[in-house]
Amino acid sequence: MPRRAREPSVTGYMHIIVKGNGGQILFEEPQDFRFFLTKMKYSCYDTGVKLCAYCLMDNHVHLLTYSDINNLSLFMKKLCVSYSEYFNKKHKRTGHLFQDRFKSEPINNEEYLLTAFRYILLNPQKAGICKASEYKWSSYMLYDFPPNFMELDLLYNLIGKKKEYEEYIFSDNNDECMEFSSEKHTDDWAITEIRKWLGINSGTEIQKFEKKKRNSAIHTLKVHGLSIRQIERLTGINRNVIQRA
């Protein structure tokens, strides 16, 4: 059955979410975030796609893009393929890193453009990681002096400069956008639990355990409060294997 064509945006603006396969962690360490950002920049240059905002979370990425739909698909292919090759080689893993096709939501009016823009930048704060202005892996700090692969002219007209920008981002809001499902406990909490109870730095190390030890580790994590979805996401182990364990 052919895939359904993506809904186009009459304005050229799109909200994009790309997720780790089965909730797989996409960034194990700061170098991974930096590599993704570098590839993202050059993929913009290669395809003509412009970014209005971005936020890299541990297991998913939000982008606010400006382009036509054909260029956007090429941009995402270049970015995801090159990053997958890098990540799999570095962390000695195989298989798909990203889940299915990227999600896309057209932004067809200025009101929703503003909503998506703020929603993306507030992701770390809503996840309980830190204040949006302190998060290293988003475009929050680039508003005043954006690099040339970013396009903010319309947002400047709608929001204003730095003072108005800060007031807008942190104003009381109940923004609703294309969501990424959350857990009872954050992934930062879960990673701490993995280190505490298993004595390893990354959940993906469990993949290298022999079967009996692997199943015991999975059971330990479940007993200490991690959900099956979190274990799947943080270890990269198939859900069926986790449930059997």
Q: Parallel, antiparallel, or unpaired: how do β-strands 103-107 and 60-66 relate?
A: unpaired
Token pair of 227, please?
Answer: 């959900």
Instruction: Give CA separation, 122 vs 170, 203, 211, in Å.
Output: 8, 26, 40
Residues 84-105 have pLDDT tens digits of 999 999 988 888 899 878 888 9
Residue 122 has pLDDT above 90, yes or no: yes
Q: Return the pLDDT at 60.
A: 92
pLDDT, tens only, 164-208? 999 999 986 666 666 554 445 688 888 998 999 999 999 999 999
Residue 239's pLDDT is: 73
How far apart CA 199 and CA 237 sit, in angstroms, is 18
pLDDT tier at 156, thresholds 50, 70, 90: very high
Q: Among 71, 59, 55, 178, which residue's Cα sits nearest to residue 115? A: 178
d(CA 239, CA 245): 10
Give me the mean pLDDT over the 31-42 stretch: 97
Percent of the chain with pLDDT over 90: 59
Cβ burial of 155 (10 Å; 0-12, 13-18, 19+) is: buried
Indicate the length of the chain as a whole number.
245
pLDDT-based confidence at residue 3 (cuts at 50, 70, 90): low
Positions of E strands within the chain: 13-19, 50-56, 60-66, 103-107
Give the integer Cα–Cα distance in Å for 101 and 104: 9
How confident is the model at residue 148, as a pLDDT? Answer: 95
End-to-end CA distance of the chain: 34
Instruction: Please report, for residues 38, 98, 153, the alpha-carbon distance to residue 206 in angstroms, rounded to integers and kept in the order given.
Output: 29, 20, 47
Locate 61 and state its tokens. 């990425």
CATH class of 13-169: alpha beta
Q: How confident is the model at residue 1 (pLDDT cuts 50, 70, 90)?
A: very low
User: Which DSSP category does 171 fall into?
Assistant: S
With 90 as the cut, is the pLDDT of residue 244 above it? no
Whether the pLDDT of residue 243 is over 80: the answer is no
Considering only CA atoms, which of 103, 104, 100, 98 is closest in space to residue 20? Answer: 98
- Is the CB of residue 68 less than 8 Å from the CB of residue 6? no
Spatial CB neighbours of 82, under 8 Å, sequence gap ≥ 6: 39, 43
40 pLDDT above the threshold of 80:
yes
| Mean model confidence pLDDT for the chain | 88
Mean pLDDT of 103-124: 92
- Does residue 36 sit in helix, strand or coil? helix
In the chain, the percentage of residues whose pLDDT exceeds 70 is 92
Domain boundaries, the chain: 13-169, 187-244
